[in-house]
Amino acid sequence: MSLLASLSNTSNTLNAFERAITVAQNNVSNASTPGYASQRLDLNAMPFDPAAGLTGGVVAGDVQSSRNEFAEAAVERAQTSLGTASQQTASLTAVQSALNLSGADGIPATLGNLFQSFSAWSQDPMSEASRQAVMSSAQQVVDSFQTTVTALQQVNQDTERQIGQSVDQINAYAQQLASYNSELRSGDRSDAALDAKIHNTLENLSQIVNFTASVEADGTVTVMIGGQAPLVVGDRQYKITGQIADPASLPPGNPGVPPTANILDASGQDITSKISGGSLDALLDTHNQVLASLLGDAQQPGDLNRLAQAFADNVNQLLMAGNVSDGPPPVTGSPLFSYDTSNATNTAATLAVAPGMTADQLAAIDPGPPYVSNGVAVHLAALANPQDAADEIDNVSYVEFFGNLAAGVGRQLSAATDQQGIQQQVVTQAQNLRQQISGVSLDEQAAALVQFQRAYQANAQLFSVLDSLTQTAVNMLQPLG
């Protein structure tokens, strides 16, 4: 081998390994950079034939990223599911707390107290103290309904605020991605730092909303919400907006209904139905389904309002059918409760002890036939365990009905909590898998060096033996040649 050829060989090799070490150093430096995928430099052997002037050695090839898009997508999917479950858990916990199922001032407790007051009154219908106790208990029932509605409305407002924040966060991530795409177009497509930023942003985005991300021919990432609504295409961002629908624009059914939350794409199209994952999905579900089923919307009065109306109407009808005194002339009873009859979704919030109603206007007498001096009071006390379908709501007692509402929320919360735990494990698994594929592990790299060193020394000894044997062969064969 000529001196020039040897120098050329050495120069190429140094260049190749300098690049390789740069890549390795980059990997080590970014071992803890979020979203970073380790890189590898391809090394190619050069032809070796001294007779033909081919000096062998190695040259540097392309830098390859170890990023695996399947592993990335798996992490993003897991993060989306975790985002849904985590937000559901948080939101449903707030709803459950607002329902105050077991509190002394919750709806079940105050209804129970009122039924006990009716029972005590039925035993002594003329007792002023018993009548006052009924009035006091009725006021507690009213207060509990209003407190529950206020707490649920607060949850509703918090949810609307969080929806707005989520939309802002999505748009902020979209803006970042569009900016990164622009950098990609104008710079180095194999820029590992930029690649790390893009994938870290995508992972953050996946916790909020479901999307599909695809890498285009120019290296940019296209992001479509729900796989259909564009969010980022090239260096363009398509802003989404959150809209709390104006009740006036909703179909007339329940005037003055609580508004519905919608998400609109950049062209104003409603894409709410395309959002099926992430914390935003859970917030929309809480607002438009869970809370709407309790407080009402354009299509339904809401179960809490149904309960308030059914209970108040039944109590009022019984009292108004009875007599306060026999007379003559007999004095008929007055309604105990009042509420806003113009808006079915406002019943629980406006439930009140009827204005002007006093304890001595409570009608205990059932004029019959048969005449029963405490018939109405007995009937009212029996509402705790109704025997008649007219005293029930959806075939259960009023207290059971409320219990079923709370149990429904509790079941959803329990499922969401379980799902959150499972999804946390799935996310960890997916991240570990990705780390194995794309991550940089210093300990493994160091251990591999030890392994390499051992192998290198063993091989070097064998090369030495082979050199020695070759020289012997040369000595033996040359005389014959």
Q: What is the binding site for another protein (CB under 8 A)?
A: 9, 13, 17, 20-21, 23-25, 27-28, 31-32, 38-41, 43-45, 48-50, 56-58, 66, 435, 439-449, 451-456, 458-460, 462-463, 465-467, 469-470, 472-474, 476-478, 480-481
Residue 405 beta carbon to another protein: minimum distance, rounded to whole angstroms: 46
The smaller minimum CB distance to another protein, of residues 70 and 463, is found at 463
The smaller minimum CB distance to another protein, of residues 407 and 458, is found at 458
Residue 4 beta carbon to another protein: minimum distance, rounded to whole angstroms: 16
The smaller minimum CB distance to another protein, of residues 19 and 77, is found at 19
Q: Can you tell me the distance from the alpha carbon of 243 to that of 129, in angstroms, rounded to the nearest whole number?
A: 53
Residue 218 beta carbon to another protein: minimum distance, rounded to whole angstroms: 27
The smaller minimum CB distance to another protein, of residues 60 and 312, is found at 60
Distance of alpha carbon 17 from the chain centroid: 48
Residue 65 beta carbon to another protein: minimum distance, rounded to whole angstroms: 11
SS3 letters for the chain?
CCHHHHHHHHHHHHHHHHHHHHHHHHHHHCCCCCCCCCEEEEEEECCEEHHHCEECCEEEEEEEECCCHHHHHHHHHHHHHHHHHHHHHHHHHHHHHHHCCCCCCCHHHHHHHHHHHHHHHHHCCCCHHHHHHHHHHHHHHHHHHHHHHHHHHHHHHHHHHHHHHHHHHHHHHHHHHHHHHHHHHHCCCCCHHHHHHHHHHHHHHHCCCCEEEEECCCCCEEEEECCCEEEEECCEECCCEEEECCHHHCCCCCCCCCCCEEEECCCCCECHHHCCCHHHHHHHHHHHHHHHHHHCCCCCCCHHHHHHHHHHHHHHHHHHHCEEECCCCCEECCCCEECCCCCHHHHHHHCEECCCCCHHHCCCEECCCCCECCHHHHHHHHHHCCCCHHHCECCECHHHHHHHHHHHHHHHHHHHHHHHHHHHHHHHHHHHHHHHHHCCCHHHHHHHHHHHHHHHHHHHHHHHHHHHHHHHHHHHHCCCC
Residue 52 beta carbon to another protein: minimum distance, rounded to whole angstroms: 11
Residue 456 beta carbon to another protein: minimum distance, rounded to whole angstroms: 5
Residue 150 beta carbon to another protein: minimum distance, rounded to whole angstroms: 48
Residue 3 beta carbon to another protein: minimum distance, rounded to whole angstroms: 15
Helix (H) or strand (E) holding 97: helix 69-99
Helix (H) or strand (E) holding 364: none
* Beta strands at 323-325 and 261-264: parallel, antiparallel or unpaired: unpaired
Residue 221 beta carbon to another protein: minimum distance, rounded to whole angstroms: 24
The smaller minimum CB distance to another protein, of residues 104 and 458, is found at 458
The smaller minimum CB distance to another protein, of residues 39 and 346, is found at 39
Residue 469 beta carbon to another protein: minimum distance, rounded to whole angstroms: 4
Classified as helix, coil or strand, 469 is helix
The smaller minimum CB distance to another protein, of residues 42 and 216, is found at 42
User: And the tokens for 314?
Assistant: 């039944």
Classified as helix, coil or strand, 480 is coil
The smaller minimum CB distance to another protein, of residues 70 and 452, is found at 452
The smaller minimum CB distance to another protein, of residues 422 and 465, is found at 465
The smaller minimum CB distance to another protein, of residues 355 and 481, is found at 481
Residue 201 beta carbon to another protein: minimum distance, rounded to whole angstroms: 21
The smaller minimum CB distance to another protein, of residues 396 and 447, is found at 447
Please check whether residue 159 is in contact with residue 91, taking contact to mean a CB–CB distance below 8 angstroms: yes
